[in-house]
Structure formats: C-alpha cells, structure tokens
C-alpha cells in the first residue's frame, strides 16, 4: 500500500500540500484545509483516498448538523412507533442505534480516509464536541453502554470555508494548510491533467484571459480553478478558436461564454465597463 501522497493523475498537489498530507498521515493528526472556494479542498480527500488506496467516508456538514450525528443517533421515534405496534425488535435498543460516519470509519478493516466537509457550516460548538473523538479516536454509546474505538486511526481531512472561526482547542489538535490560489505555471499543469492535449495556443489565451478577469479590481466573486475548468470545457465543446479570446479583439467586449467565469450580473457589468474604458484609453 502506498504511503506517500504527491498528487494523482487527475489532481496536481503542490509540494507543500503533499507534505501537509504526509505529515498528517505520519503523525495521525487531522488535517484542516482552508482556501478560496473552488481550489479543490474537498477533492483533496477523495484523491488522497484514491492515491493511497484507502476507503473513504464522507461526512458533509450542514448548518443543522450536530457532532452526535457523526457518532450515532438513537432513533427514538421509530422505537416508539414499533412499541405501539407491538414489534418484537423493540426489546433490543441496538436496533434503533443508527451509526454515523465517524463510527463507520472507526469500524473500517483498513485505515480509512475520513472527510469532514465544510466544518464551519455547523454551529460554533460543533468542533468542540468532537475533541475527544478526534484525539483518542473513541467514544461511548450511552444507550448500549459500549465503547467504540477505532481499529485504525483514520486519516482525517477537514475542510473549512472560513465562515466561522474554529475554537483554539480544536485547532491545536490539527495540522493546518491553506491552499493558495495556483500560479499560472501550476494552473497550466492542472488544466493539462484535466484536458490533456489541449492546444497550446488556446491554453495560453484562456489562461491569459482568466487571470485578467481574476485581477479585475472590485469583483464580488473571483473565478477559481473549478470555474476555469468548466469554462475550458465549454470552449472546447463550442470549438472556440484561440483568437476569439484575445482581449484586444475589437468585436468581442468580454471573453466568450463568460457565464462560466463570472457568476453575478454586477461582476459582468463591472467587467464590461472596465474593458470599454480600457479600449477608449488606447
């Protein structure tokens, strides 16, 4: 089984990211990943699982999620219903304990990868409720009075979009990595693994136009890697020639199919205005 991660054939990991993953795997600490939306935070966990050949358990956190749901839930309502109907299953409380993702990961035969996605969406107290579980990799089921302990310490990858600050006690137990927005060189590599054999001319023009859009001051939502990839997919599907992307093309005011890059009408408007002013200035 592979033990070192350095990206996969579909995922370019920079050296510092690879090192972050390897440090987390070696020391058995959770890895907290932050970064701009669309830089592949969630994707990382899937790719790590694939590269190292481990099963993956995904726990997607929502604003209503409770830490307890990741461990287990006691389905009191169906037990109540069964009791009214006289079902024989009622006698054993274990029939009504529903396992959460963390429990499933703890039971895994080989060391699994556990993704806790968007932990900042949950309540402020959520991470605090997981401290002991992440530290000792065990928890207690009160209903059945049993202790669940991880067979293999899972590789835990946690993503956050920075909507809430995470508590210090929680942070102290994690390694932290911030995925920086890739530079043009890395970006070319990323595009290459997704669309191998893309014409050099188109790639260069597309990247140029993309970074130009990204650097427009005052954009509400800057386009990110995933948006660039979508855009290139569209360009390929529509068979747009590289010349059409050049910014000094007088016919087009903004890049074709810009809907994939700019996601709200104020941004499109702002960009159009800037391009217009730019041309007048020339």
* Residues forming beta bridges with residue 161, ordered by sequence position: none
- Backbone phi, then psi, for 148, in 5-degree steps? -100, 125
In whole angstroms, what is the distance from residue 73 CA to residue 51 CA? Answer: 32
Please report how close the Cβ of residue 117 comes to other proteins at its closest, in angstroms.
Answer: 19
Q: Write down the number of H helices and E strands in the chain.
A: 11, 9
Separation in Å, CA 59 to CA 113, 114, 159, 224: 11, 8, 11, 24
**Which CB sits closer to other proteins, 55 or 167?**
167
**Which CB sits closer to other proteins, 176 or 195?**
176
**Which CB sits closer to other proteins, 174 or 202?**
174
Please report how close the Cβ of residue 161 comes to other proteins at its closest, in angstroms.
Answer: 10
Please report how close the Cβ of residue 235 comes to other proteins at its closest, in angstroms.
Answer: 30
143: its two tokens: 């209903």
**Which CB sits closer to other proteins, 98 or 124?**
124
> Is the separation of the CB atoms in 213 and 275 below 8 Å?
no
Please report how close the Cβ of residue 1 comes to other proteins at its closest, in angstroms.
Answer: 18
Please report how close the Cβ of residue 245 comes to other proteins at its closest, in angstroms.
Answer: 28
126: its two tokens: 């959520």
> Is the separation of the CB atoms in 232 and 191 below 8 Å?
yes
**Which CB sits closer to other proteins, 85 or 281?**
85
Pairing relationship of beta strands 31-35 and 155-159 according to DSSP bridges: parallel
Q: Which residues bind other proteins (CB under 8 A)?
A: 15-16, 19-20, 22-23, 26-27, 29, 32, 34, 76-77, 80, 83-84, 124, 163-166, 168, 171-178, 180
């Amino acid at each position: 089984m592979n033990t070192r991660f350095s990206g996969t054939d579909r995922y370019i990991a920079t050296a510092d990211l690879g090192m972050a993953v390897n440090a987390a795997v070696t020391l058995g600490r959770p890895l907290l990943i932050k970064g701009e939306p669309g830089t592949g935070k969630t994707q990382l966990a899937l790719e790590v699982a694939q590269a190292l050949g481990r099963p993956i358990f995904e726990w997607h956190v929502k604003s209503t999620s409770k830490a307890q749901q990741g461990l287990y839930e006691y389905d009191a309502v169906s037990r109540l219903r069964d009791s009214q109907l006289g079902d024989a299953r009622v006698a054993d409380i274990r029939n009504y304990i529903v396992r959460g993702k963390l429990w499933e990961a703890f039971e895994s035969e080989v060391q699994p990868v556990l993704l806790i996605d968007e932990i900042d969406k949950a309540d402020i107290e959520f991470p605090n409720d997981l401290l002991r579980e992440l530290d000792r990799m065990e928890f207690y089921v009160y209903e059945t009075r049993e202790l669940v302990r991880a067979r293999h310490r899972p590789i835990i990858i946690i993503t956050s979009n920075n909507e809430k600050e995470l508590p210090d006690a929680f942070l102290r137990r994690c390694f932290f990595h911030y995925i920086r927005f890739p530079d043009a060189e890395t970006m070319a590599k990323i595009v290459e693994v997704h669309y191998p054999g893309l014409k050099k001319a188109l790639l260069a023009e597309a990247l140029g136009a993309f970074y130009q859009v990204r650097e427009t001051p005052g954009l509400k939502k800057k386009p990110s890697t995933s948006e660039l990839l979508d855009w290139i997919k569209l360009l390929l599907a529509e068979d747009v020639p590289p010349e059409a992307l050049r910014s000094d093309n007088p016919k087009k005011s903004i890049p074709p199919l810009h809907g994939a890059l700019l996601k709200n009408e104020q941004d499109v408007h702002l960009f159009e205005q800037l391009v217009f002013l730019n041309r007048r200035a020339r």
